[in-house]
Amino acid sequence: KFENMPQAIKPTHIQGISLESIAEKYGTPLYVYDGEKITNQVHAIQKAFQGVPLKIKYATKALSNISILKLIKNAGAGVDAVSLEEVRLGLMAGFQPSEIMYTPSGVGFDEIQEAVDLGVMINLDSLPLMRKFGEVYGNKVGACIRINPHIMAGGNIKISVGHKASKFGISIEQLPEILEIVKEKNLRILGLHVHTGSDILDAEIFLRGANVLFETAFKFPDLEFIDCGGGFKVAYKEGDPRTDIQEVGEKVSKAFQQFCEKYGKQLELWLEPGKFLVSESGYLLVKTNVVKKTPTITFAGVDSGLNHLLRPMLYDAYHDVYNLSNPDGNTHTYNIVGYICETDTIASDRELSEVREGDILVIKNAGAYGFSMASNYNSRLRPAEVLVWEGKPHLIRTRETIEDLTRNQVVIDI
């Protein structure tokens, strides 16, 4: 059912419910997620890797609403967390600690200890951390090592994290030091990990990352899993290719099974997709406040901005936008801009069916790194979130209020 399903380019409905009616009921700006799409994406990965013992650890940072985590849990995945808070969200969603991988980047050792106490798997990302971990836990607590494989990959440099100059992981060239610490501190290494970046199209890149681990693995006799990270590309534009997950599955599974045979033990294969599971399931519905014609440009100013969707501003990311309220009007060229006191262009030079004040515009691919990167900049409130599940819309986060904004402020007499 989920395979190669043509995706509506300008969907007006999710699971038979009109987006207009959702906008009317819950107001704008509003994040709306299609739960069925998320489940289907989990299943697509499971199917592509069906020949191996696969564990999907969903990269919670992409979209961390607890209801979404529950949905992903029900689809059969675990959790990849990058903060103690994400670990806790995972636990709140009902995941067992053993289903959670904690991949921090340069955190204090107190956080590591807390995570160990919570019972989750720790991914060690520096030599000093390995040493400290060994001094405190020796071989009592098993752990994983994040290897930087020196592979340049990803949609743009800001989201490329597996190259030589990246802060992430431990350089593969430092393998001798890694082995020395493992021996000296008597560490029990249960897993090896790579993650090279986000928006990676080419199946060969995933295979290259995996091969680095397969070659390295023979130095670690106690392994239980190999974690190949996430980073599968989604389609942001019409006609944009997605990572061929079936191809990645076939190539990586085959190499993995051959490796396991040589290693002499059937290990588990872990993956940490974020975007691939949730990006295309999400829509940010915004309302047009003003249509402003200048001598050169027509701006559609909407009730949202970089505070709700940072990706265009941060990465020059492309998000498709369409006019939900006026699908059949004459098309014009617009710059869709936010209401923040910055040049927060959401989309520039886009052909849209005529935009009028009050029209609802839909910003696509808002599921991943949308709400999770939202802020209160300009003292604006963060939007509500709605999950469409089993043909019904469910409010899964209420719109913030001024009370939320000021909750932690301590107003002194002055």
Contact footprint for ligand LLP (CB under 6 A): 59, 62, 80, 103, 159, 195, 198, 229-232, 272-276, 311, 315, 368-369
Q: How far is the CB of 252 from ligand LLP (least distance, A)?
A: 15
Q: What are the angstrom distances between the C-alpha of 55 and each of 21, 86, 145, 208?
A: 38, 18, 17, 20
Look up residue 82 and give its DSSP letter: S
Q: How far is the CB of 271 from ligand LLP (least distance, A)?
A: 9
369 is an annotated ligand-binding site residue: yes
Orientation of helix 66-74 relative to helix 35-48, angle to 10°: 40
304 neighbors 375 (Cβ within 8 angstroms)? no
Say which of 144, 228, 260, 341 is annotated catalytic.
341
Q: How far is the CB of 83 from ligand LLP (least distance, A)?
A: 12
The 3-state secondary structure of 304-359, one letter per residue: CCCCCCCHHHHHCCCCCEEECCCCCCCEEEEEEECCCCCCCEEEEEEEEECCCCCC
Kindly tell me which of 123 and 335 has the beta carbon lying closer to ligand LLP: 123
138 neighbors 186 (Cβ within 8 angstroms)? yes
131 is an annotated ligand-binding site residue: no
322 is an annotated ligand-binding site residue: no
39 neighbors 46 (Cβ within 8 angstroms)? no
Q: Which of 339, 365, 215, 380 is nearest to 284 (CA)?
A: 365
Q: Which of 389, 405, 383 is nearest to 284 (CA)?
A: 383
**260 is annotated as an active-site residue:** no
Kindly tell me which of 227 and 303 has the beta carbon lying closer to ligand LLP: 227
Kindly tell me which of 34 and 125 has the beta carbon lying closer to ligand LLP: 125
Kindly tell me which of 37 and 311 has the beta carbon lying closer to ligand LLP: 311
Residue 386 identity (one-letter amino acid): V
Q: How far is the CB of 405 from ligand LLP (least distance, A)?
A: 24
Kindly tell me which of 89 and 368 has the beta carbon lying closer to ligand LLP: 368
231 is an annotated ligand-binding site residue: yes
Q: Which tokens sit at 413?
A: 């007499």
Q: How far is the CB of 158 from ligand LLP (least distance, A)?
A: 8
249 is an annotated ligand-binding site residue: no
* Residue with the CB atom nearest ligand LLP in the bound state: 274
Residues in the chain: 414
* Residues contributing to the annotated binding site for pyridoxal 5'-phosphate: 231, 369
* Residues contributing to the annotated binding site: 231, 311, 315, 342, 369
Query: Which residues have a catalytic role annotated?
Result: 341
